[in-house]
Amino acid sequence: MLLPVALTVFSSAIYHFMLKQASNKSPFLILFWSYGIAAIVCLALIFFNEQQLKFSLPFKDRPYLPFILALALIGIELGYLASYKSGGKIGQVSMMTQMVSLVVMLTLGFILAKEPLTFKKAFGAVTALFSFFLLSRP
């Protein structure tokens, strides 16, 4: 589990730094070029994954999922771009969104996925909300 987390952290750092650099550009052009290049790279990587050599839609039973995921990705990207465009700092914007996302995902996991809400998770959520409060103050 350590390697995937390290990859995510490393990629997230690059992502936020690059997005901050491009915050004065058209957000839709940034998304178009970024996701276009990502699509080409993913298409090339499919050939290295023998399990995915079938070019069928991976969500046959739920064909709406790719569209909802695409809208969610656009929302995430536009939210970050708008935050940086309005002067948000890299560390602050990233941390604040991750903390609120943690609380939202814990709540959704508990309500919709019937995941247990332990003391440790609840304490982490309260700590995240308190940290969000501290970071959002001038």
User: Does residue 39 sit in the same domain as residue 69?
Assistant: yes
Rounded average pLDDT over 70-97 = 90
Q: Is residue 98 within 8 Å of residue 138, measured between CB atoms? A: no
User: Does residue 71 sit in the same domain as residue 105?
Assistant: no
- Two tokens, residue 96: 């604040």
User: Does residue 60 sit in the same domain as residue 83?
Assistant: yes
User: Does residue 125 sit in the same domain as residue 110?
Assistant: yes
pLDDT(44) > 90: no
**What is the percent of the chain with per-residue pLDDT over 70, rounded to a whole number?**
93
User: Does residue 104 sit in the same domain as residue 78?
Assistant: no
User: Does residue 19 sit in the same domain as residue 36?
Assistant: yes
User: Does residue 100 sit in the same domain as residue 57?
Assistant: no
Q: Domains in the chain: how many in total?
A: 2
Identify the three-state secondary structure at position 86.
Answer: coil
**Per-residue pLDDT tens over the stretch 98-131:** 888 988 999 999 999 999 989 999 998 899 889 8
What's the confidence (pLDDT) of residue 64? 86
Confidence of residue 51 (pLDDT cuts 50, 70, 90): low
Confidence of residue 59 (pLDDT cuts 50, 70, 90): confident
pLDDT(54) > 70: no
What's the confidence (pLDDT) of residue 138? 75
pTM, entire model: 0.79
User: Does residue 76 sit in the same domain as residue 8?
Assistant: yes
User: Does residue 70 sit in the same domain as residue 117?
Assistant: no
Question: Which of 10, 21, 9 lies closest to 81 in space, CA to CA?
Answer: 21
H/E stretch holding 131 reads helix 119-136
**Per-residue pLDDT tens over the stretch 9-30:** 899 899 989 988 888 889 899 9
Q: Angle at Cα 130 formed by Cα 104 and Cα 1, nearest 5°?
A: 55
Confidence of residue 41 (pLDDT cuts 50, 70, 90): very high
User: Does residue 63 sit in the same domain as residue 94?
Assistant: no
Q: Which of 55, 71, 88 is the last residue of a domain?
A: 88
How many CA atoms are closer than 13 Å to the CA of 65, on its beta-carbon side?
A: 7
Residues spanned by the domain of 9 = 1-88
- Residue 110, exposed/middle/buried by CB under 10 A (0-12, 13-18, 19+)? middle
User: Does residue 84 sit in the same domain as residue 117?
Assistant: no
User: Does residue 84 sit in the same domain as residue 112?
Assistant: no
Cα separation values, 98 from 43, 48, 76, 109, Å: 29, 32, 11, 16
